Chain A
Amino acid sequence: MIENGWNQFEIGSVLRPFSGEVSDVSVIQPEDRLYSASNSFSVSVADWRIEKPLFKKELCIDCQFCWIYCPDMSIISRDKKMIGVDYDHCKGCGICVQVCPTTPKALLMFPEQADEEIELAQWPKKETQETKEN
């Protein structure tokens, strides 16, 4: 596209989200859709992010709040089960963490360069009866 001359674009600066004809696209999972090169799905915006959300699966109750509230459709959910974060499109806004209702939260924000394995291992623990007595 970067090589296109003035006479090679579609008139009216229209863009087509899909390559070719589509029908009933809502039943196709995003990763299986024929997105065009100009669709934002085909472009990574990971480098916009300064902080990233990490996901601790064991604490998640699959309430889907993060999926509903994410402004960039970057929470991946299948059959109402939370699977993870789409790091190509997440911009690190932190809304998913804000709305996560569990204690401790199943989603927390970390610096972009933080190591996922280490952070998951150090995740805040659920308060037990014992810890409360101490």
Chain B
Amino acid sequence: MADIFELRDYEVWDGNMAASHALRQAQVDVVAAYPITPSTPIVENYGNFMANGYIDGEYILAESEHGAMSCCIGASAAGGRVATATSSQGFALMLETLYSASGMRLPIILNVVNRAIGAPLNVNGDHSDMYMGRDSGWIQIDCYNPQDVYDMNLLAFRVSEDHDIRLPTMVHQDGFMTSHTAQRVKTLSDDVAYNFIGEFKPMNDMLDLDHPVTHGVQTEEDWHFEHKARQHHALMSAVIPKIQEAFDELKVLSGRQYNIVESYNMNDAEVAIVCMGSSVETALEVSNELLAKGIKAGVVGIRVFRPFPLVEIADALKSCKAIATLDRSSPNGTVGALFNEIAGALFNTNTHAVLTNYIYGLGGRDLTKASLHTIYRELESNAESGNVTTPLQQFIGLRGPKLSFF
């Protein structure tokens, strides 16, 4: 039996340590991993907990990220609680197996410490890997700080493993900015955290020898479509209510309030920035500064990226006159993904908001408050004129001549 880890009410943890402790408290049966920067400390800390008797499960060091996720798939199909962590190139190598995990309806938890994807090689944080995973059929939850990472990991097991859902979840945090920045985290005791997650209840597990089951079957044009439809249906209909229910219970336990769409200073906001990750907190700081000057500038943070809360986000933005979507991944040939998502959410509504797109922070480039002030100023002039007064897509924080499109 694993030892209890005595935690203080408040710990000073970086995002990686917060994830490690959440995995420890979940008492995961199998962690199979191939460590990669900046997610390495998650599984490193976990191995440390194991060596010191705080974990009963198995830890498998795989030969690659493809192998790590493949081990996770096998262990999950066998009937265990399973988790791992990765970043960037490792995430890219995992990609093929990510589709297997979701298609086989295996509730694996993957911590993705967001990092740029080369070339040129880069270890710092942007959202390229998160964007790469957005069609893979996983639930994607975004964190802005280590406290979020801790809470969302606990929540992820509870949501994924529910028998009405049975879909894997990625918990995203920004490389280095969140993963390596120690901040205050309010903890739950081991038993409270475990009870919040709940006992793992196997489903169609291969180790139930009296009910043999075949996992990983082949279907062609005859049935493939139906299986994909069923998977999409579960993602679209069951997940958001289950996350909301978990948010509600977490609030009772911890006092912390999470929302499907995070809105800050949005009550009567005329201009708004929509963004993800640690940028949400920077944008909020700028929003507060503007509010103090009487400018109605709000921030909308994406908390659940997949399934995309189309209706909730349209509702959060319905009264805005100008909106900027901030994408931290090179769109490589089109507008940013978030621009498309928000445009899609707003298109058939009554809004007449002007929508623009900023590409920022690639390869870990800081998003400065000065850049955010510039964006808000441009939004104000869009709101005032009711038209796009800037190019539709602009690169911000970039050296050299101004780069923009459309």
A: residues with CB less than 8 A from B are: 2, 4-7, 9-18, 21-23, 25
Distance between B118 CB and nearest chain A CB, rounded to angstroms: 34
Is A7's CB under 8 angstroms from B230's CB?
A: yes
Q: Which of A13, A16, A18, A23 contacts B227 (CB 8 A)?
A: A13
Is B210's CB under 8 angstroms from A12's CB?
A: no
Known: A21-B210, A22-B210. A6 touches B226 (CB 8 A): yes
A2 contacts across to B, CB distance below 8 A: 222
B222 contacts across to A, CB distance below 8 A: 2
A7 contacts across to B, CB distance below 8 A: 230, 233
The distance in angstroms between the C-alpha atoms of A12 and B163, with both chains bound, is 12
CB-based nearest A residue for B231:
A11
The distance in angstroms between the C-alpha atoms of A56 and B215, with both chains bound, is 40
Is B223's CB under 8 angstroms from A9's CB?
A: yes
CB-based nearest B residue for A20:
B211
Q: B102-110, B126-134, B173-181: which lies at the A interface?
A: B102-110
Known: A6-B229, A6-B230, A7-B230. A12 touches B214 (CB 8 A): no
Is B214's CB under 8 angstroms from A16's CB?
A: yes
DSSP class of B's interface residues: helix, strand, loop or mixed? loop
Which size bracket describes the interface of B in this complex? 20 to 34
Distance between B103 CB and nearest chain A CB, rounded to angstroms: 7
Is A12's CB under 8 angstroms from B106's CB?
A: yes
Is B233's CB under 8 angstroms from A13's CB?
A: no
Distance between A16 CB and nearest chain B CB, rounded to angstroms: 6
Is A12's CB under 8 angstroms from B166's CB?
A: yes
A23 contacts across to B, CB distance below 8 A: 209-210
- B181-237: which have CB < 8 Å to A? 204, 209-215, 217, 219, 222-223, 225-227, 229-231, 233-234
The distance in angstroms between the C-alpha atoms of A12 and B233, with both chains bound, is 13
B103 contacts across to A, CB distance below 8 A: 12-13
CB-based nearest A residue for B213:
A14
Is A14's CB under 8 angstroms from B214's CB?
A: yes
The distance in angstroms between the C-alpha atoms of A11 and B234, with both chains bound, is 10
Q: Which of B204, B219, B225 contacts A10 (CB 8 A)?
A: B204
A13 contacts across to B, CB distance below 8 A: 103-104, 217, 219, 223, 227
- Sample of 17 more A-B contacts, CB < 8 Å, known A2-B222, A9-B230, A22-B210: A4-B223, A6-B229, A6-B230, A10-B204, A11-B204, A11-B230, A12-B105, A12-B166, A13-B223, A14-B104, A14-B214, A16-B212, A16-B214, A17-B212, A23-B209, A23-B210, A25-B212
CB-based nearest B residue for A40:
B214
The distance in angstroms between the C-alpha atoms of A22 and B230, with both chains bound, is 28
The distance in angstroms between the C-alpha atoms of A25 and B211, with both chains bound, is 11
A12 contacts across to B, CB distance below 8 A: 103-106, 166, 204, 215
CB-based nearest B residue for A16:
B213
CB-based nearest B residue for A11:
B105
A10 contacts across to B, CB distance below 8 A: 204
Known: A6-B226, A11-B234. A17 touches B166 (CB 8 A): no
Distance between B78 CB and nearest chain A CB, rounded to angstroms: 13
Distance between B213 CB and nearest chain A CB, rounded to angstroms: 5
Known: A14-B204, A21-B210, A23-B210. A9 touches B226 (CB 8 A): yes
5 pairs of A and B residues whose beta carbons are closest in the complex: A12-B105, A6-B226, A6-B229, A15-B214, A13-B227
Distance between A20 CB and nearest chain B CB, rounded to angstroms: 8
Q: Would you list 8 pairs from A and B whose C-beta atoms are within 8 A, ordered by A residue? A: A6-B225, A9-B227, A10-B204, A11-B231, A13-B103, A14-B104, A14-B213, A17-B213
The distance in angstroms between the C-alpha atoms of A23 and B225, with both chains bound, is 34
Is A21's CB under 8 angstroms from B211's CB?
A: yes
Distance between B101 CB and nearest chain A CB, rounded to angstroms: 10
CB-based nearest A residue for B219:
A13
Distance between B248 CB and nearest chain A CB, rounded to angstroms: 26
Centre residue among A6, A16, A17, A25 by max chain B CB count within 10 A? A6
Known: A9-B227, A11-B230. A16 touches B211 (CB 8 A): yes
B226 contacts across to A, CB distance below 8 A: 4-6, 9
Distance between A25 CB and nearest chain B CB, rounded to angstroms: 8
